[in-house]
Amino acid sequence: MALDPETFDALITTIRRFVSERLRPLEAQVETDDRIPDDVVQEMREMGLFGLSIAEEYGGLGLTMAEEARVAIELGRTTPAFRSNFGTNVGIGSQGLVMAGTAEQKAQWLPRIASGDIVTSFALTEPDVGSDSGSVKTRAVRGKDENGADVYRLSGTKRYITNADRADLFTVMARTSDDPGGRGVSAFLVPRDLPGVSVGEPEKKMGQKGAKVADVNFDDAPVPIANRLGEEGEGFKIAMRVLDRGRLHIAAVCVGVAERLIADCVAYAGERKQFGKPIAEHQLIQAMIADSKTETLAARALVLETAAAKDAGTNVVMESAAAKYYASEMVGRVADRAVQIFGGAGYIADYGIERLYRDVRLFRIYEGTSQIQQIIIARETMKRGG
C-alpha cells in the first residue's frame, strides 16, 4: 500500500537533504577509508532506510516499487556505496524471505532486518558459477545435527557476496538434488553464527569503496529444516523473482547517478572557460550534455513505468531486464562524457568524477550482466510474440 502523498514527499525531502548535506561531504573520506562511518550507518537505521521494502507490520516503511524507485534515484546522487550499505536489506538479501517465507520465518527475521539490527546478504554466485546461476554447486544434504535433529548439511563456497563482511543472515542457493539446472536448487536462510560458516577477507575492487564483497564458505554447516525458503527445488525460481525486483532498483540508482553527473557537468561547464568563454557555450560540449540528459530522461521514464506496472501486478520480467540493461549502460556513457567534459580535471581524484566513473562500471555486471539482460529481453519478447 502506497504512502499518502504528503508523507512520501516528506520522506523524499528528508532523503534528498541527507544525501546532499550528510553523505556527499563524506564521499572522499569513504573512498580513502573504504568504509562507511558508524554514525552514518546509525542515522540510516533511524531513518528507516534498512526497511524501505519491508511491510509496516514488521517495522519497515512498506514502500511500493514505484516509491522505492524514486527513493533509489535520490540515493543515486551520491557514492553508490552508501546505498549498498543497506541495499541488501532492502533488496536481494531480504526479498526471498518477503516473497517466499513462512509466517514464522518472517516474524523471526523481518523486524530485525527492517531495523538494521540484522544485515542480510544474497549468496548465489560461486567461483565457477556466475551468469549460469542454475548451475550452483554448493550442496545441501539431509542429515542430523549433534543433537540428532533433522538438518541440511550445507557445503560449498559463494563468491563476491555483497555485505558478507557484516552480514548476520545469508539467503543461500544450494543444490538439494541432481535434477538438472535450476530444478535442483533450493533456498535457505543461513545465520552467520552456524558452525561451519566462515567469511573470507573483503576483495580489493575497482570502485564502490566502502561496499565490501567477500567469499562465504560453508563446511558441513547444519541448517535447520525450518530455515528452508519454499519447497525443495524452488530456490532458482525464488532467486529469479528476487533479481527481477533488484534489477529495477539498480536501474533507478543508475538514473540517480546520471542525474548527479549531469548536474556536476553543467556546473563545471558554466565556470570553466576556454577560447574566451565558458565551455558550456561550445556546441560540442552542449551535444554531450544533451545526449546525457536525453538518455537519462528515457531511463527514468522506463524505470518508473515498469515500477508502476509491477505494483499493478503485471509480469515485468522483460521490462525489469530492459530497465537494468538500458540504465546501467546509459550511466556508463554519461560517466564517460563527464570525464570528457571535465577534461584533465575529470581524470583527477579531487573532482570526484573519476571515482563515479569507476563506481558505475559495476552496474553492468552485478544482478545479471548486460548480456544476460539481453538474453532475457529477447526470450521474453519472443515468448510474448513480439
Q: How many CB atoms within 10 Å of residue 378? A: 12
Q: Which residues are catalytic?
A: 367
Torsion sign across C-alpha atoms 202, 45, 54, 97 = positive
* Cell numbers at 23, concatenated: 553523505
Q: What is the CA radius of gyration of the chain?
A: 21
Q: What is the rounded distance in angstroms from the CA atom of residue 197 to the CA atom of residue 216?
A: 7
Q: Which helix (H) or strand (E) covers residue 222, if one does?
A: strand 213-224
Q: What is the rounded distance in angstroms from the CA atom of residue 239 to the CA atom of residue 186?
A: 9
Residues 6+ apart with CB under 8 A from 314: none
| Cα atoms in the Cβ-side hemisphere of radius 13 Å centred on 92 | 27
Task: Please state whether 267 falls in left (phi above 0), alpha (psi between -120 and 50) or beta.
Answer: alpha
Task: Provide the 3-class DSSP secondary structure of residue 189.
Answer: strand
Q: What is the rounded distance in angstroms from the CA atom of residue 100 to the CA atom of residue 63?
A: 18
Q: Output the DSSP codes for 270-303.
A: HH-EETTEEGGGSHHHHHHHHHHHHHHHHHHHHH
Nearest Cα to 57, choosing from 129, 131, 4, 110? 110
